[in-house]
Amino acid sequence: METLLKKRALILNIIVFAGALILGSLYFGSSDAQAVKFSLDGRTVSLAAGREFALNVPLDEVDDILLVRDPDFGGALQDGGTNSRCRYGTWHNEEWGDYALAAEQRLHNCIVLRVGDGGDETAGDAGDLPEYVVFNYESDTTTESLHKALREYAGF
């Protein structure tokens, strides 16, 4: 009888532990949900990071694509933030002013897209974009390779 009670208690503990893991992952999100996401759809760079940040940048609106090592990110503005893996949203520093950021915290390299007319209302799709969009992806090596591929693809 005592062995049966111990088995039931063990099963109950396992169920409670599994439930806590499931609830924790739903509340805090998976680590993948917190990572920087990149895709290239036609001639549009799509970025996402954190739970709410997403941005589409038409390459036809980009004036330059740079690679920067260890940039000064400055500080997050009202819609900017950090999670355990990345910085995202609108940030501000002296070099770029207010800019869009989607960057893994553990990486050193970042790609900087300089958008034409800096969000001027007459710039078509770029009218809603900041002048600078800064991001990295997966690893420093991948970010560097992506920088070279984007420059070539965009015709720089």
- Name the domain count of the chain: 2
User: Between vectors from CA 130 to CA 39 and to CA 35, what angle results, nearest 5°?
Assistant: 35
One domain, residues 26 and 86: no
- The pLDDT of 68-76, averaged and rounded, is 97
Q: For residues 77 and 26, state if they share a domain.
A: no
What pLDDT score does 25 carry? Answer: 46
At residue 72, φ and ψ (nearest 5 deg) are -85, 105
Instruction: Specify whether 8 is located in the same domain as 60.
Output: no
- What's the whole-number mean pLDDT along residues 76-102? 95
Asked if 88 and 136 sit in the same domain, the reply is: yes
Residue with tokens 């949203």: 89
Would you say 109 and 143 are in contact if contact means Cβ atoms under 8 Å apart?
yes
Co-location of 24 and 101 in the same domain:
no
Q: How far apart are CA 96 and CA 114, in angstroms?
A: 9
The Cα 141–Cα 132 span in angstroms is 22
Shared domain check, 73 and 10? no
Report residue 9's pLDDT band, with 50, 70 and 90 as the boundaries.
low
Residue 98 above 90 pLDDT?
yes
Q: Are residues 21 and 52 in the same domain?
A: no
Binning pLDDT at 50, 70 and 90, where does residue 28 land?
very low
Residues spanned by the domain of 17 = 1-30
State pTM to two decimals.
0.76
What angle is formed at CA 83 by the lines to CA 113 and CA 71, rounded to 5 degrees? 35
Residues 1, 73 within the same domain: no
What would the mean pLDDT of 19-24 be, rounded to a whole number? Answer: 50
39: which strand partners? 46
